[in-house]
Chain A
């Protein structure tokens, strides 16, 4: 029997994978995808809680978060693209003009 707690556990796993991805991958696009994974982990948690407790709010929150994620993707890719056009790189290690 799959309970909401199982979904919560899955969401935690997804969140962990996302946050590890953020710090270990060097490619900016993949780092960003990892962040999106974290957002979706949160979405899953909201839905699972809403389902388990019989609440509506969690379900509707997910729509807002999806919109946010979409907007973030648009802005994020634009920022990465602008960077790529000037530098021909999407490697996080190559970007350290601003420091100290």
Chain B
């Protein structure tokens, strides 16, 4: 028997992710020990399989009348998201017992969140994108609040949930308004409808109202100013590995969807809106960096740093050329691994049920735990944009692309911003190497140590040899511009 859907192969990675999530949930139910690391391994295996299936090249094309597409762009993000999620899983395998998270749903929720992200990045229809976004968000709301007895975890989940639901409602209403004018929610048709019809003033007003709300919904997810306020609170309160997942995978997924919307559906109106993107980019990076300077909590600092990086990425979205788009894709990968490393080191410093988060907690790390300190240094320097690490190469791609597109002032602002950012990343280095503290006893954390070391190694490798990833990013990006 075959399912009566043409091109069903397109959905295999998605279906596999959902099914594997259910499988992991079932296996977990029957596992005898709460500390069973096999669940983590099983999840990682599934995620690796998702990446493998999407890379295998089976089923390229569209399904559901052009609502979901498995193009090079989708494949790039499938692999990127799977890798980031595997990192998050490995971080969690030690962190979950340390943090006292006793809920077996942890790993399945990560898999469901990944499934939602996969839908989001490969959706070519606004409503499917919305569904993916909601699937992902629902899982992440729960993950943020999974430490039910922790007040901060509660509060993080609550804030993320209320603001997320509010933003989703705005997004959905924006889609409804666009639907009202164009009669479609498929990205390509929306673009055609916008481009080909000469609308009455009233209609165009409603359309732009919808576009504005749609952009606001995504600006919220990527944490652009002024929709960024939830980020520090949620990253700080959520379990550290969940924050890592949110800061990297969720942000990458949201950017992927934003790129598809901005460069496909809204392509006809983008020339009028680039100034808006410009303002968003400049204010987001400046805000993020300036406030990060004043943080003493490293998790909060990383949250503001992630806001600043949203600003850098928006420079690429503003430029909206093929080079800039590829640069955004590359930067998301680079930013993902270096942030995984940074959050991972934070997770590695967890004592029994007590996460160490203040900058002063990093004192003496250079002496007491030299490997972790080195990993953290690499990640901080890369975030700062120190050559030859991944962060520098990413900024180089982004900024040169923006220059070629003529955004000189924006690039100058961005470069000056990265000067400011050096001050707070340096604060961590200073604590690690220029202050001393007594050594702490740590239980062995093999998975965490492995994951953060791997993240640092990838950060260095992506910096020294960016060409393979950049090549894939270029192909991926051109597939949504030139593709059907």
Contacts and interface: CB of A to CB of B under 8 A. Distances in A.
A98 B155 CA distance: 8
A87 B155 CA distance: 10
A97 B172 contact: no
Contacts of A83: 154-155, 157-158
B165 A87 contact: no
B127 A61 contact: yes
B176 A98 contact: no
B180 A97 contact: no
Nearest to A74: B138
A55 B156 contact: no
Contacts of B148: 82, 85-86
B232 A31 contact: no
Nearest to A99: B233
Contact of B151 (A22, A75, A97): A97
B152 interface: yes
B138 A98 contact: no
Q: Chain A's interface: helix, strand, loop or mixed, by majority?
A: helix
Contacts of A8: 180
Nearest to B183: A53
Q: Classify chain B's interface size.
A: 35 or more
A66 B155 CA distance: 26
A97 B155 contact: yes
Nearest to A45: B176
Contact of B179 (A15, A49, A76): A49
Contacts of B152: 97-98
B236 interface: yes
30 contacts: A15-B173, A22-B166, A28-B158, A28-B162, A32-B165, A35-B162, A38-B169, A38-B173, A39-B172, A41-B173, A42-B169, A45-B180, A46-B179, A49-B176, A57-B179, A64-B131, A68-B130, A68-B131, A76-B161, A79-B142, A79-B161, A83-B154, A83-B155, A83-B157, A83-B158, A86-B149, A86-B154, A87-B154, A95-B158, A97-B237
